Amino acid sequence: MKLFRISFLFIFLIFEFAINAQTSNKIALVKGWKFTTENDAGFASPDFNDVRWQNIAVDKPWEKQGIKHDGFAWYRIRVIIPSSLKDNAELKDSVIFNMGKIDDFDQTFLNGSLIGVNLSNVPANTEPDTNYKNLDYSYWNNNRRYSLSVNDPRIKWDAENVIAVRVYDWNGLGGIFSGDLYIGMPDLSDYFHLENNVSNYIIKNNTVSKTIKLRNSSHNYELKGKLSVVAKNKLNQKHVLDKVFKFDLNGKEEIKIDILIPRQDQSSVVNFTASIIGSNLFINRHDETPYILTPPVAETPKLNGAPVYGERPGKPFLYRMAATGKRPMKYSAKGLPDGLEIDGKTGIITGAVESAGTYKVALTAENSLGKDEKTLTVKIGAALALTPPMGWNSWNVWGLEVDHNKVYAAAEAFVNTGLADHGWTFINIDDGWEIFGKSDSPKRTAEGKMLTNEKFPDMKSLGDKIHSLGLKFGIYSSPGDLTCGGYAGSLNHEEDDAESFSEWGIDYLKYDLCGYRNIMKDQNDPAELKPPYIKMHKALLKQNRDIVYSICEYGNGKVWEWGEEVGGNLWRTTGDIWDEWERLKQIGFSQVENAKYNGPGHWNDPDMLVVGWVGWSSNLHPSRLTPDEQYTHITLWSLLSAPLLIGCDLTKLDNFTLNLLTNDEVIAIDQDPLGKQATPVLTDGDIQVWKKELSDGSYAIGIFNLGNNTKNFTLYLENIGLPDSIKARNIWKQKDIGFIYKGKDFRIPSHGTLMLKLSE
Ligand code: GAL
């Protein structure tokens, strides 16, 4: 008993010591922040008096605290930094200022001097950049962590310090919104960086491999330790890899390690755990390996793409036959309406059809191994986008750093990777091609025509080059004076811009509310939202081109209820997507209320795809969605009949991503000409079943597991409104699974899916 008491006391003492040590090593910056939406360089100064500023929390964006604001804002906090902080620390040479996640851009000042900008430390006496073109927004979801030498004159030891943060929020939620904000002394592990997302897994023969990086960001400390890598099959939990790597990193050294994992027919969960001699902390990361479901494309000819295509009478017609198979391929089209002709070598059909009507065209693709035939229904009438648009958009990959070459590279990649042979058509430039709003250069010619910036020297020739590949060309603008990126918008120049778009050969316009919000009283009032969209629609209709019209106003005022009425072929139903499961889940699984408004010519748009290398800037990373999450993404979007716009660097396509985007049976669900959006028909704990009616009378369903563990699920046909006996096909595997009688058991990986086609 005595022994027990002594040891208990001992444990208690250690525990207490650990807590004290931790608190004395850190000063929490949670409470005491002041805030203003004004902007003045003087706010950085320690002498500025901020008493009249409002109090603000730093664990949620300012909108969630009742502040409706985009643009500049400032945060300030006063804090004493005691020298005991360094005296008690083991590593005494630098101090960390951890500022949490900041949406979008930050300049962080200490006692009037800049210490960090968007994740980077800045040397003493650096003047803040007031060239607002460099207000990068792509760091919004990253924790800002700056460090200064303990001897840095910017720190006042044992005295009051003022931290001031200038934030710029482009749109949507803004401000310091999450994370552990503190001032503290580093542990050795703070200098150790385990980077497991600097490349993606490549599947080759029987292995899945990738390179990870271990980096020492300190100048002087040696980091010695062990990295253990454990991979387990995601469905049966069996170990497939158990490996330990020793490392010894000198100051500023980095090493690469190749991780090779035996290939499975589902993901393996890979856990990386590093420990460093001299630190008690473990550094953990995990990811999941990709697996391929879609069988390889056959060498024999196969015609893909939607079975129906629409253009308006008399407008330039451009249709590229989508066919896979060995090259060379010979193409033909019988029954083309008058005015059209086909290039038999490329399968590109061009011309213009004067008479409205429905034409059945027999398409043929032939190579040395065989021939495929397919009927294409060409509808010459008022409606465009008879199936959801499929293409590429520059935003999720390049953000405002898009340029002519990057766009053309995407077009070439559509052809070279074979994506175009599966029906991918549009190459769309998003924001960033216009003249920057705050620059001194003229935004328009004397005649009022929009100028392009130096990154797009010749829009017309870019359009011509894209068209010569049989692909279509899209662009972006805003009804406001400025776009979301701060570039010139179309306000009061709608007709001028529609004319320019037409001259450049534009086939698709994304029209983004952004700057227009400044002149609105209520951003959710359809009466205020409709007029600017109607205005541009009228201007587009006057052009001698068909221009698919994409409305982007984030779902405000229930756009699905009136998007078609204002001429929209598609409309965004939500705010922006990004490559995180929570965001994907939030957007994808909430597309319910709008379902009945979806249909040929007018589509709900839950935003673009976040697979492949993305980054919203030149700083790219492989999608942070796991392979199962990516299967869920494509499955759900296809069931929703959503527009499919790839948003990644197509010159960096790995085989998993390409496979994900080229399953013709999955694409056919998205492109089904009935255009019915799936709805949820069953929820059972973490499992959701979504069902979509198809034009041939069958159904496509997705069984989704939103939970964090693999789930067994018995699908009872009766519970999803289907007859007792039904033929089932696994769409991703393109394989029949036979008849289901009453019900069947399935095992669905966490965040993953099973997509079936069910027919009587
Ligand atoms: C956002 C829009 C994004 C992208 C961006 C460009 O408002 O939702 O998709 O277009 O603007 O600045």
Q: pLDDT for 103-132, tens place per residue? A: 999 999 999 999 999 999 999 999 998 876
Pick from 133, 171, 478, 484 the residue to mutate for probing ligand 1's pocket: most ligand atoms within 8 Å of its CB: 484
For the stretch 595-617, pLDDT in tens is 999 999 999 999 999 999 999 99
Predicted local distance difference test score (pLDDT) of residue 9: 38
Distance 553 CA to ligand 1 centre (A): 9
CATH architecture of residue range(s) 680-759: Sandwich (2.60)
- The closest residue, in CA terms, to atom 7 on ligand 1 is 484
* Ligand 1 atom with minimal separation from the 430 CA: 10
Q: What is the mean pLDDT of residues 493-504?
A: 98
Give 455 Cα–ligand 1 centroid separation in angstroms: 19
Averaged over 351-375, what is the pLDDT?
Answer: 98
- Give the Cα separation of 457 and 433 in Å (integer): 10
Q: Annotate 11-20 with b (16+ C-beta within 10 A) or e (fewer).
A: eeeeeeeeee
Residue from 392, 397, 433, 514 to probe ligand 1 pocket by mutation (most atoms less than 8 Å from CB): 514
238's tokens: 């069996």
Which ligand 1 atom is the nearest neighbour of the CA of 487?
12
Question: Residue 530 C-alpha to ligand 1 middle, in angstroms?
Answer: 19
- When pLDDT is cut at 50, 70 and 90, the band that residue 14 belongs to is very low
- Pick from 392, 512, 573, 616 the residue to mutate for probing ligand 1's pocket: most ligand atoms within 8 Å of its CB: 512
Closest protein CA for atom 9 of ligand 1: 576
| pLDDT band at residue 438 under the 50/70/90 scheme | confident
Residue 692 has pLDDT above 60, yes or no: yes
Nearest atom in ligand 1 to 554's CA = 8
- Look at residue 133 in the predicted model and tell me its pLDDT: 61
Separation between Cα atoms, residue 495 and residue 490, nearest integer Å: 9
pLDDT one-digit tens code per residue, 391-402:
999 999 999 999
Global confidence as pTM: 0.93
Q: What is the mean pLDDT of residues 25-46?
A: 95
Bridge partner list, 202: 209
pLDDT at 136: 76
| Rounded Cα distance, 660 and 519, in Å | 42
Q: Is pLDDT at 21 greater than 50 in this prediction?
A: no
Q: If you take atom 5 of ligand 1, which residue's CA is the nearest one?
A: 484
CA of 406 to the centre of ligand 1 (A): 18
Closest C-alpha to 364, from 320, 326, 329, 333: 333
Tokens of 604: 């709900």
Average model confidence (pLDDT) across the chain: 95
Fold of 390-670: TIM Barrel (3.20.20)
Q: How confident is the model at residue 424, as a pLDDT? A: 98
Question: Which pLDDT does position 85 carry in this prediction?
Answer: 95
Mean pLDDT of 208-214: 98
Task: Give per-residue pLDDT as tens, 500-526.
Answer: 999 999 999 999 999 999 999 999 999
The superfamily in CATH containing domain 13-87+95-185 is Galactose-binding domain-like (2.60.120.260)
Tokens in use for 451? 């100028």
Closest Cα to atom 8 of ligand 1 = 576
User: pLDDT band at residue 183, thresholds of 50, 70 and 90?
Assistant: very high
Q: Please give the number of the atom of ligand 1 that sits closest to the Cα of 171.
A: 7
Q: 477 C-alpha vs ligand 1 centroid, how far in Å?
A: 10
Ligand 1 pocket: which residues have CB below 6 Å? 171, 395, 430-431, 483-485, 512, 514, 552, 576
- Domain coordinates in residue numbering, the chain: 13-87+95-185, 190-288, 302-380, 390-670, 680-759
134: pLDDT confidence band, cut at 50, 70 and 90? low
**Ligand 1 atom closest to residue 483's alpha carbon, by position in its atom list:** 12
2 pLDDT tier (thresholds 50, 70, 90): very low
Condensed to tens digits (0 to 9), the pLDDT of residues 729-750 reads 999 999 999 999 999 999 999 9
What is the spatial distance between Cα 209 and Cα 268, in angstroms, rounded to a whole number? 12
Q: Whose CA is nearest to atom 11 of ligand 1?
A: 484
Average pLDDT over residues 56-68: 96
Q: Which CATH number fits domain 190-288: 3.40.50.300, 3.40.50.970, 2.60.40.10, 1.10.3720.10?
A: 2.60.40.10
The fold of the 302-380 domain, in CATH, is Immunoglobulin-like (2.60.40)
Catalytic positions: 512, 576
Say whether pLDDT at 22 is over 50: no
Fold match flag (13-87+95-185 vs 302-380): no
Inter-residue contact 700 to 635 (CB < 8 Å): no
Judged against a pLDDT cut of 60, whether residue 7 lies above it is answered with: no
> Which pLDDT value is given to residue 132?
65
Q: What is the mean pLDDT of residues 697-721?
A: 98
- Residue 400 CA, ligand 1 centroid: distance in Å: 10
Q: Where are the beta strands (DSSP E) in 63-201?
A: 71-80, 94-103, 105-110, 113-117, 120-121, 143-149, 160-169, 175-178, 182-184, 192-195
575 CA: nearest ligand 1 atom: 8
Short-list 703, 676, 679, 706, CA closest to 691: 679
Cα–Cα distance, 613 to 600 (Å, whole number): 31
Q: Which residue out of 136, 398, 401, 431 has the highest number of ligand 1 atoms within 8 Å of its CB and is therefore the one to mutate?
A: 431
Residue nearest (by alpha carbon) to ligand 1 atom 3:
576
Q: In the chain, pLDDT over 90 holds for what percent of residues? A: 93
CA of 374 to the centre of ligand 1 (A): 38
Say how many Å lie between the CA of residue 333 and the centre of ligand 1: 39
Percent of the chain at pLDDT > 70 equals 96
